[in-house]
Amino acid sequence: MNDKFSIEGSVSKLWDKLDGWLDAIILKLPNLVMAILTMLLFYFVARGIKKLSNKYLLTHISQKSIQLIIAKIIFIIVIMIGFFIALGVLDLDKVLTSILAGAGVIGLAIGLALQGTLSNTVGGVVLSFMDKIRINDYIKTSEADGFVSEISLRNIVLRQTDNNYVVIPNSKFVENAFTNYSISERSRIAVTCGVGYESNLQEVEDLVVGIIAENFEQKEGEGVEFFFTEFGDSSINFMTRFWIDMVKAKQEHEARHKAIKLIKTHFNAKGINIPFPIRTLDFGKNKLQIAPNENASENANND
């Protein structure tokens, strides 16, 4: 047993290996220091380039979200260049090949495990480069509406009119339709109402069109439209459409509020009736018969 295994020999070999590692570390120490300094240098260089890009180069891009994403990409690229140079200083070129191969396998596994997160990231990139949505735009989705306050690689943040914030994952936002009120400066809205059956319909039409045209500027190619829509239960209903300046929902509410007040005021002045629903009960053909109380009849007979 002693011929096959010697504790002293094993310890001696272990010390020889440790001594070799120590020598290698000492010999590589200058390279290690240079690699660390290289990484630090490229880190500060990356930060400087990022700041300069945000201050000068990216100012020509109107989309704030695109500016942020491009700046982050520039920062990561410079850091990766510094990392590769540091590996070269450490004479780890062969290790770099192994790292890249391992990173590919790990990246595939992570990609399969984080499909939802990656879809949000891709959605964030898509949103950042869309010219139909910008920071501070007022948009409306099927679930929420508000001003766009942030577009990140994970989600989009909307600030609602009540100052609450709604966070929507990018993948869910991209897949659904949304309305952007801030793209066009002018929009058309509709106001509906009804008048009594005794009203002069032409007088009603002329009056409403004149009121709206006088109080809401209609530019070239625009105009006030008026349509009677139906014979209602107690009124003849109509709709008027006209154009307003609108880049957010509040302007629509203000314009409709003003139009309703104007129509009501002028209708009152002209004696035009805006009827409310009326229900008439006619018992002429179907007379009600009240059945006698059986108990009362029996009591009367007993008496």
pLDDT tens digits, one per residue of 29-78: 677 777 788 888 888 888 888 787 777 665 655 556 666 777 777 888 88
- Residue range(s) in the chain whose domain bears CATH number 3.30.70.100: 186-270
Question: pTM for the whole thing?
Answer: 0.55
Section 160-173 average pLDDT: 85
Nearest partner of 151 among 142, 132, 235, judged by Cα: 132
- Residue range(s) in the chain whose domain bears CATH number 2.30.30.60: 133-180
Nearest partner of 96 among 76, 81, 109, 74, judged by Cα: 81
Query: CA 262 to CA 273: how far, in whole Å?
Result: 14
How far does Cα 268 stand from its chain's mean position? 44
Token pair for 244: 């307003």
Q: 3-state DSSP call for residue 285?
A: coil
Q: Among 123-132, 192-201, 273-282, where is mean pLDDT lowest? A: 123-132
Checking if the pLDDT of 140 tops 70, the result is yes
Checking if the pLDDT of 190 tops 50, the result is yes
Residue 114: predicted pLDDT = 46
pLDDT digits (tens, 9 = 90+) for 79-135: 888 887 877 777 666 555 666 666 665 665 555 444 555 566 666 666 666 667 788
Look over the chain and give the mean of its residue pLDDT values, rounded to a whole number. 77
What is 133-180's CATH number?
Answer: 2.30.30.60
Residue 137: predicted pLDDT = 86
Residue 171 backbone phi and psi in degrees, to 5: -60, -40
CATH topology of domain 186-270: Alpha-Beta Plaits (3.30.70)
